[in-house]
Structure 1
Amino acid sequence: MTLLADLLSTVFDRRYRRDGPRVKDGRPLCDLSLALVGSAGETSGLALAEEILARFADLDDAGKLAFFRDIAGMNIDPEAVRTTLEDYERNPTKAGYRAFMEAAEPPRQELIRRLNRVPGATGALVRMRAELLRLTGADPELQALDLDFRHLFASWFNRGFLVLRPISWESPAQVLDKIIAYEAVHAIDSWDDLRRRLQPSDRRCFAFFHPAMPDEPLIFVEVALVKGTPGSVQALLAEDREAMPASQADTAVFYSISNCQAGLANISFGNSLIKQVAADLAADLPGLKTFVTLSPIPGLTKWLTAQGQNWQDATADQMKALAAHYLLNAKVQNGAPFDPVARFHLGNGAIVHAVHADADVSDKGRAQSGGAMVNYLYDLPKVAQNHETFATTQKVIASADVKTLAGSVTLTPSKNTEER
């Protein structure tokens, strides 16, 4: 995998070299953007793109908002779209279709493409979108601009371009630093804590990388190889636990999955990552028969509070039942599960397998779910079927034990359950 990554990185590393230092162009960024879209020369276009990216990086928030509003104005001409579509409907020729496609694509998409020609620009554009998301608010023009970024990123970061790499204690320090920084589920408190998650024989970590951003993980998953299905994240991460040979494990536990790039929000990698890692582990370790998560339930206490439930005084058994009821019955207005982690794993084809009380006794775990956690089971032969069922019906597939727990609780979901 490392060799493949190096080869792809070489392909993506476009060696544009300028003679001498960058010559600054004093024109406003809006003018530079229009000039870049209209430029015909490769060298002049690269110089313009480099200038725009360099200038944008130095802007304050007000300047960035002004830039985004300027390029959001590089929009489609609705009349041209209507005219070319009508022409194509009357005479569906190749030329007519090309004219319609050109009219239907806003010039700002071509601007983003041309900015991406500069070496290192892909990462800069991901950071640019992160700033756009941070500053957009409810502005409809800026939201439309974000859709253009998403449209392009969905192609640039599709699964065919991604490289799966194992992360180990021997990985480059700059990558390990980022794993610590980007861990979003269970904070990594120190280098010793990181070592406990990477170095023992029964621990694994995998990340997706893009060849244009070879030192920036896009998403990573941490895996524990264990016997049986775990019910405590503190036990998985305990300092004094004894490692065992990976060959003795019968279960792979995905206990943390973290998206690393804010600018790639809503560009889905997790589905491919978990399935690829599960398939690779199954091939390497034939003794692995079960693939589960040990997942947080981040919306639980919020939802229970909205229902008027005094979850703070619940016993362990009551908390398990409340969590099961929530996972199976709490919905947003479109019928999908209220819990975002549930939507993710069920959408990937997993099922709700088991619920545990006192499974995350950290302050964060207590605050978001009263300490409860859930195992989502990835039954590899049934993942595709489960995915289709959930996608078409929004039905939550769960084990008999979880259904029994959920059935022991009677609550009426709040009419004010928010849309997600």
Structure 2
Amino acid sequence: MADLLGSAGEMSELALAQDILDHYASLDDAGKLDFLGHLAHDMNIDPEAVRSALEAYEQAPSKRSYRAFMQAAEPPRQELIRRLNRVPGATGALVGMRADLLRLSGDDPELAALDLDFRHLFASWFNRGFLVLRPISWESPAHILEKITAYEAVHAIQSWDDLRRRLRPRDRRCFAFFHPAMPDEPLIFVEVALTKGIPGSVQALLTENRTTLAPETCDTAVFYSISNCQAGLASVSFGNSLIKQVAADLSAELPGLTRFVTLSPIPLLTTWAKAEGIAMPDDPEARRALAAHYLLHAKERGNAPFDPVARFHLGNGALVHAVHADADASPNGQAQSGGVMVNYLYDLAQVAAHHEDFQTKQKITASSEVTSLAKAGAQAVTAER
């Protein structure tokens, strides 16, 4: 690896980089952990060099002293990763390397610091300006459809017939972000149902026995499944841009669409209730009220919503619009939330304001119905305690 950093010739550099990537791919988990440990421990910054360079810059600010500080403050492993990425096809391999790092790192603080270097580089390489939005249809290449099936993380796709029901009808859409360096690997995708009115059950959207609607007669676009595809791109956010781009494109195509909502799971509701010593109610209305209270008032450190899906959509500028009991009959839906689901509404005229309120004031915007429901849930929680 030191040879790669010291290489001056392009051809020798590419050959060395390819050798390193090939060697890494051949390693078992123990070998990969040793490799990553070398990057973390032996290719880190030199704190004394950083202090000296900063002191020199403070005493005599100049282009030269600032460059010296920048070079000292950047660990050599960042430049190594950049040079590895010059090999054709290396971007996907490096995303896989970070997935290994996340899987194997445990609580090693130096490996955690190495992960920050990967995240820093990936934030630039996977900038929205480089991403390509592509529609996924039943006519898309089979290898892409196979990956959509495999990566679906919200509502499992059970068969080719199930996939066809989600992609082929005129009132169903799917869109994915791709990167030019990984053209056959979706990064994130969203499945969309065009409906009349806002649905309160995922079964109604996915059932075999439904009538296909003419898209021009629909008034609502429902984002009912959003799946991140690459474990190595965790914490590199695409979802915000994806939803807004899809909403803008659908608005341009179908002017009759007046509402953009999700039908989202509440993945940690039962986990939170159990930790709080609260029993999940048998009564559907009581479950709705408990879920509303949870979405608006259950917090983690830093006063952020406890629920990860809520953090995502509220951070994007959506509001909590409606809560539905018996909305997901699947075993996963029952285990996560007793079957309760939620609509987050993207009011395109208010998204920026809601995003600002959430980011600066931790304000959760909700409909009056959900706010009232949450009050009933709070009373029930207080009574149970």
Provide the residue aligned with 1:342 in structure 2: 310
Q: CA–CA distance in 2 between the matches of 1:159 and 1:353?
A: 28
2:355 is the counterpart of 1:387? yes
Provide the residue aligned with 1:254 in structure 2: 223
| Alignment partner of 2:12 out of 44, 47, 51 | 44
| Alignment partner of 1:375 out of 343, 354, 375 | 343
Letter of the 1:279 counterpart: A
Q: Report percent identity of matched pairs.
A: 73
2:370 is the counterpart of 1:402? yes
| Alignment partner of 2:39 out of 71, 86, 92 | 71
Letter of the 1:249 counterpart: C
Provide the residue aligned with 2:328 in structure 1: 360
Q: CA–CA distance in 2 between the matches of 1:332 and 1:212?
A: 37
2:182 is the counterpart of 1:213? yes
Trace 1:37-116 onto structure 2 (pairs within 5 A): 37-72=5-40, 73-116=42-85
2:282 is the counterpart of 1:314? yes
Provide the residue aligned with 1:326 in structure 2: 294
2:170 is the counterpart of 1:201? yes
2:247 is the counterpart of 1:278? yes
Deviation track 1:96-148 (CA, whole Å, cap 9, x = no partner) reads 11111000000000000000010000000000110111000000111111110
Report the CA distance between 1:310 and its aligned residue.
1.7
What secondary structure is seen at the aligned counterpart in 2 of 1:334?
helix
Change (3 A) 1:263 1:412: farther
What secondary structure is seen at the aligned counterpart in 2 of 1:88?
helix
Aligned length: 381
2:222 is the counterpart of 1:264? no
Unaligned stretches of 5+ residues in structure 1 = 1-32, 414-420
Report the CA distance between 1:195 and its aligned residue.
0.6
Letter of the 1:391 counterpart: Q
Provide the residue aligned with 2:198 in structure 1: 229
Q: CA–CA distance in 2 between the matches of 1:89 and 1:346?
A: 42
Q: CA–CA distance in 2 between the matches of 1:305 and 1:393?
A: 29
Deviation track 1:68-89 (CA, whole Å, cap 9, x = no partner) reads 1111120111111111111111
What secondary structure is seen at the aligned counterpart in 1 of 2:189?
strand
What secondary structure is seen at the aligned counterpart in 2 of 1:292?
strand
Q: CA–CA distance in 1 between the matches of 2:268 and 2:19?
A: 44
Q: CA–CA distance in 1 between the matches of 2:50 and 2:277?
A: 52
Letter of the 1:188 counterpart: I
Letter of the 1:330 counterpart: A
Trace 1:8-19 onto structure 2 (pairs within 5 A): none
Report the CA distance between 1:242 and its aligned residue.
1.1
Q: CA–CA distance in 2 between the matches of 1:94 and 1:249?
A: 59
Provide the residue aligned with 1:29 in structure 2: none
Provide the residue aligned with 1:165 in structure 2: 134
Report the CA distance between 1:314 and its aligned residue.
2.2
Q: CA–CA distance in 2 between the matches of 1:369 and 1:38?
A: 55
Report the CA distance between 1:333 and its aligned residue.
2.2
Provide the residue aligned with 1:17 in structure 2: none
Q: CA–CA distance in 2 between the matches of 1:180 and 1:393?
A: 39
Q: CA–CA distance in 1 between the matches of 2:146 and 2:22?
A: 25
Report the CA distance between 1:38 and its aligned residue.
1.3
Report the CA distance between 1:412 and its aligned residue.
5.7
Letter of the 2:311 counterpart: R
Provide the residue aligned with 1:22 in structure 2: none
Change (3 A) 1:271 1:412: farther
Q: CA–CA distance in 1 between the matches of 2:98 and 2:327?
A: 36
Q: CA–CA distance in 2 between the matches of 1:132 and 1:308?
A: 36
Letter of the 1:231 counterpart: G
Q: CA–CA distance in 2 between the matches of 1:315 and 1:307?
A: 19
2:113 is the counterpart of 1:144? yes
Q: CA–CA distance in 2 between the matches of 1:63 and 1:34?
A: 18
Provide the residue aligned with 1:119 in structure 2: 88
Unaligned stretches of 5+ residues in structure 2 = none
Deviation track 1:221-279 (CA, whole Å, cap 9, x = no partner) reads 00000000000001000011111110010000000000000000000000000000001
2:145 is the counterpart of 1:187? no
Q: How large is the RMSD of aligned CA atoms in angstroms?
A: 1.2
Q: CA–CA distance in 2 between the matches of 1:70 and 1:80?
A: 20
Letter of the 2:115 counterpart: D
Q: CA–CA distance in 1 between the matches of 2:382 and 2:131?
A: 44
Letter of the 2:129 counterpart: G
Report the CA distance between 1:37 and its aligned residue.
1.0
2:217 is the counterpart of 1:245? no
Normalised to the residue count of structure 1, the TM-score between the two structures is 0.90
Q: CA–CA distance in 2 between the matches of 1:61 and 1:243?
A: 49
Q: CA–CA distance in 1 between the matches of 2:278 and 2:165?
A: 38
Normalised to the residue count of structure 2, the TM-score between the two structures is 0.98
Report the CA distance between 1:303 and its aligned residue.
0.8
